[in-house]
Structure 1
Amino acid sequence: MSNAELALLLLILGCAAMRGAGLLVAGRLRTDHPFVRWAAAVSLATLTAFVLAAVVAPGGILAEIPLAARGAGLTASVSILFWRGGLALPVLGGLAVTLALAALFNA
């Protein structure tokens, strides 16, 4: 087993253990319990890290879009989300800004 496979296996086992622990205590804790707040903070931080990694250092064809266009698209999405709410409008607005700026930069 290579180091990468071992790391992946340990990650899977750790995630499964945390999920199992969460299921065991989920019904016993109030929503304002410190453990629940900690778990929510960790999950939000993880999601933030994944989004930031996807914007700053993407793989595949997205890597061909300039960083400024990706950043502007993310900024537009978050702005529309706070302004109007919902999901479709922020996603479509951010995508439109990203594609428009990518076309301008590559023209």
Structure 2
Amino acid sequence: MEISKTETTLNCEALILGSGAGGSVIAETLTKSGLDVLMIEEGPHINPEKSPMTATESFSHQWRSGGLNAAIGNPIISYAEGRCVGGGTEINSAIMQKLPE
């Protein structure tokens, strides 16, 4: 998809930033209630026919910062951010890290 370099004005009743688990559910709920919803995603839609990608391709196409997010201090849990349609749910494959007690 080519992104226009010219200014564009879009009108909507609800603007959703991100298409991950939170954004997609909220967008569907608001759409079903009759609102005009615009969802904006930072990254591309990955065609399922192009998956599975190699690990290198996956990191460069689907992960923010190629999967190398800086962390300040010594975090107990590292995190990764999706940069594609589906967000973190797309890159994490429903894998959850156990929270410390």
TM-score by length of 1: 0.25
Which of the pair has the greater relative contact order for Cα pairs under 8 Å at 6+ separation?
2
Question: Which structure would you say has the larger Rg?
Answer: 1
